[in-house]
Amino acid sequence: MSSMSGRPVLIELDKVTKKYEQARGSVFALRNISLKILQGEFIIILGPSGSGKTTMLNLISGMDRPTEGDIIFDRQSILGLSEEKLAEMRRKKIGFVFQFFNLIDNMTALENVMVPLLPEDLSEREMIRKAEDKLDLVDMFDKRDRFPNQLSGGEQQRVAIARALVNDPDVIIADEPTAQLDPDNTRKVLDILKKLNRMNGVTVIIATNDEELVRLSRDVITKEVRLKDGQIQGLRESSQGRSWSEVELG
Partner 1 sequence: MPLFRILAKGFSLAIRAKKRSGAFVILFIVITGWLILQLAILDAYDTDRILDARGVILEPSHELNAASAYDSINEIYDAVKNEISGLYIVYYVEVYPGQLGLITVKSRGKGKPEHIPWVLDLVKPTRIVNGRAINGRGEGLINVNALINYSIPGGIQIIQSAKLGDYITLQQGNKKVDIRIVGMYNASIVSYSKIAKGTENLLYVSWEDFEYFVEDIWPSPADNAEKADYVFVRRIILIAGGDYFSGKALTNVESIRISLTQNPIAPFSVTLWGGVDQSIYVSDWFRTVVLLLGAIILGGIYSFLLIRYKKKEIATLRAIGWRGKDVLIFLLGELIFVTIVGFIVGLLGVSAFSTISNLPPISFNTIGITFIVILAAILFGYYYIWRGILRISPMEAFRRE
Nearer to partner 1, 146 or 236 (CB): 146
Residues sharing a CB contact under 8 Å with residue 156, sequence separation 6 or more, in sequence order:
101, 103, 148
Half-sphere exposure of 35 (CA within 13 A, CB side): 30
What mask, x for binding partner 1 by CB under 8 A, covers residues 73 to 102? Answer: ----------xx--xxxxxx-xxx-xxx-x
Nearer to partner 1, 38 or 94 (CB): 94
Q: Does the protein bind Mg ion through residue 54 (CB under 5 A)?
A: yes
Residue 115, classified by CB atoms within 10 Å of its CB into exposed (0-12), middle (13-18) or buried (19+), is middle
CB of 43 to ligand ATP, least distance (A): 15
Q: Does the protein bind ligand ATP through residue 214 (CB under 6 A)?
A: no
User: Of ligand ATP, partner 1, Mg ion, none, which one sits near residue 27, judging by CB under 5 to 8 A according to partner kind?
Assistant: ligand ATP
CB of 186 to ligand ATP, least distance (A): 16
Are 154 and 148 a contacting pair, CB within 8 Å?
Answer: no
Candidates 47, 52, 116, 148: give the one binding partner 1 (CB under 8 A): 116
User: Of ligand ATP, Mg ion, partner 1, none, which one sits near residue 20, judging by CB under 5 to 8 A according to partner kind?
Assistant: ligand ATP
Q: Does the protein bind Mg ion through residue 180 (CB under 5 A)?
A: no
What is the spatial distance between Cα 63 and Cα 242, in angstroms, rounded to a whole number? 34
Which of positions 43-82 make contact with ligand ATP (CB under 6 A)? 47, 49-55
Strands, DSSP E only, in the chain? 9-22, 25-38, 42-46, 68-73, 76-77, 94-97, 171-175, 203-208, 223-228, 231-237
Q: Print burial letters for 198-224: b (CB count within 10 Å at least 16), e (below 16).
A: beeebbbbbbbbeeebbebbeebbbbb
Q: How far is CA 215 from CA 111, 119, 224, 232, in A?
A: 34, 39, 11, 20
CB of 209 to ligand ATP, least distance (A): 5
Q: Does the protein bind partner 1 through residue 18 (CB under 8 A)?
A: no
Binding-site ranges for partner 1 (CB under 8 A): 54, 57-58, 61, 63-64, 83-84, 87-92, 94-96, 98-100, 102, 104-107, 111, 115-116, 118-121, 124, 163-164, 167, 175
Binding-site ranges for ligand ATP (CB under 6 A): 20, 22, 27, 29, 47, 49-55, 209
